Homo-oligomer: A and B are copies of this chain.
Amino acid sequence: LDYQHVQVPFEITLWIMLASLAKIGFHLYNKLPSVVPESCLLIFVGLIMGGIIYGLNDRSPPVMDSDIFFLYLLPPIVLDAGYFMPSRPFFENIGTILLYAVVGTIWNVFGIGFSLYGICQVKAFRLQDVSLLHNLLFGSLIAAVDPVAVLAVFEEIHVNEKLHILVFGESLLNDAVTVVLYKLFRSFCEMPTIKSVDVFAGVGKFFVVGLGGVLVGLSFGFTAAFTTRFTKDIRVIEPLFVFLYSYLSYLTAEMFHLSGIVAIIACAMGMKRYVEANISLKSHTTVKYFMKMWSSVSDTLIFIFLGVSTIGENHEWNWPYICFTVIFCLVWRALGVLVLTFFVNRFHVNTITSKDQFIIAYGGLRGAICFSLVFLLPDFHRKKLFIAATTVVILFTVFVQGMTIRPLVDLLAVKRKRESAPTVGEQIHIRFLDHLLAGIEDISGHWGQYYWKDKLEYFNSKYLQKILLREYDQPKSSIVLLYEKLERKHAIELAQAGQLGHGPAHPSFLCSAFFCSTSDRTVITDQKLEDTPNPDVLDNMQEILARNLYRIRRTGPAYNRHTLPGDSEPTEQAKEILILRHKNL
């Protein structure tokens, strides 16, 4: 036995396996996932696992390594989020999202930090040794809403698109603010004196970190799109580039202390459109599927590790500090949302209703990012208190808020996501209105959203498409693309309906309708085929095949499910052959 040799990959594989099996386990009982969010169940599994490890070894189970979290577990989730981000609602609400993400997060950081400092001044709580800077540092890591936790809960409750993008967009974009404030306060903690220059430098950093992330992301995204121009002869590695470039954008941003999350989102959103046009349909299925799979596994691992890491002796318990942390997190977020929404609503026609405001405030879940950040803190005597408070806040938000948000959404009758996709008619009208509004804005000299969108579209079709797309001489209109997609989907549906609708023995619906007499025999044949080569059955089978084979063997160019030997029109058939040949050429 040589366990040492294979230990690292073996244990990683086993952890992933455990996570996947846990996921399957939950879904075996259909009722469980509809009541409790998966994230809670996974943390629960983690707690049990941690308890077992603790019980067996009599020492704290390993905590989730912050490096592993930030370098390997977080990027797949963010990439998935960025790639499948609905770009229209995102850009329509970008102002509001940024307001929540930047001003809201700063508000929360300072609100929580200062009020916790106030609590620390109460002598009875014995917390006087926690300085203001340490409180602010703690505030900076606990204030930010976590994209992983938000996604896990909001994906299951299906609120309307705008509400979803407001909470989710905020949770993604606040990363830049968190990175800056966390690093700022951490360096302040280690400095002997703080000059006002440092504070101003900190403010300047916001823009560098955020915009730098966008720039890094976009440049990698466009490089990715450009690379996929040349993969025509080697389709099999196309999906790889999507993953490689977006991961590189994340790592590069992290290397320069920029916001990795912002970079990977910019990269994914920037490349999506061009990559999709360049790569083959199967590559695209693989990209989408694998992204979902990877993020799902990462997500599962994160929550299980969160549970495992909770168990152990890393905690220092102090009732008042921990309770007030939870309360302040809730209160300051609620206040922040109320105040900011008040200003947002003054400038918008589509206002955010008070119900929506409540869900935005209530949906501010904390997760693994805070947890990893608190472990990354430099060692000081109250670190264990911070760890305990962070753990409680995460568990409180994920369990209490996560489990009650669905009933609350039902109770308040919050507007849900529309179930059906927009019809072609609607899409055309939206597009028409876009052009119209762009025209109006242009005439009235108002440089609004539609004006910029139109300019961007123009720049895109004039320059970007020519550089990044392989077949730039064929810029397909989105209507044609939609039509193609519908037709493809429909063709597959029809093929499946023919088979799946009628059990395994009827090769197709039409076949069963026209060869009704033989198909019953086919049932017998197919079922017995597996057992023994009974000459009777074989005879029977040959007879049926002799009658059916003609049609089947004409599958090559001229076969068509809808033109049976009798009723096929020769002209249409000839056209069909022509078109297939044309395609092959």
Which A residues are closer than 8 A to B by beta carbons? 1-3, 5-6, 8-10, 13-14, 16-17, 20-21, 23-24, 27-28, 30, 67, 71-72, 227, 230-231, 233-234, 236-237, 239-241, 244, 247-248, 251-252, 254-257, 282-283, 285-286, 289-290, 292-293, 296-297, 423-425, 428, 432, 435-436, 438-439, 457-458, 461, 474-477, 479-480, 483-484, 486-488, 490-505, 507-509, 513, 525-527, 529-531, 533, 538, 542, 545, 549, 552-553, 555, 559-562, 575-576, 579-580, 582-583
Contacts and interface: CB of A to CB of B under 8 A. Distances in A.
B283 A289 contact: yes
A583 B255 contact: no
Given A508-B487, A526-B477, A9 B286 contact: no
Given A509-B575, A530-B477, A20 B240 contact: yes
Given A30-B233, A484-B507, 8 more contacts: A5-B67, A8-B71, A28-B230, A237-B296, A432-B538, A480-B507, A483-B552, A486-B555
Nearest to A238: B293
Contacts of A28: 230
Contacts of A255: 1-3, 5-6, 10
Contacts of A492: 488, 491-492, 495
B256 A1 contact: yes
Contacts of A286: 285-286, 289-290, 293
Nearest to A229: B24
B495 A439 contact: no
A13 to B, nearest CB: 6
Contact of A488 (B6, B297, B495): B495
Nearest to A458: B531
Given A289-B282, A526-B476, A549-B424, A490 B237 contact: no
A244 B17 contact: yes
B6 A71 contact: yes
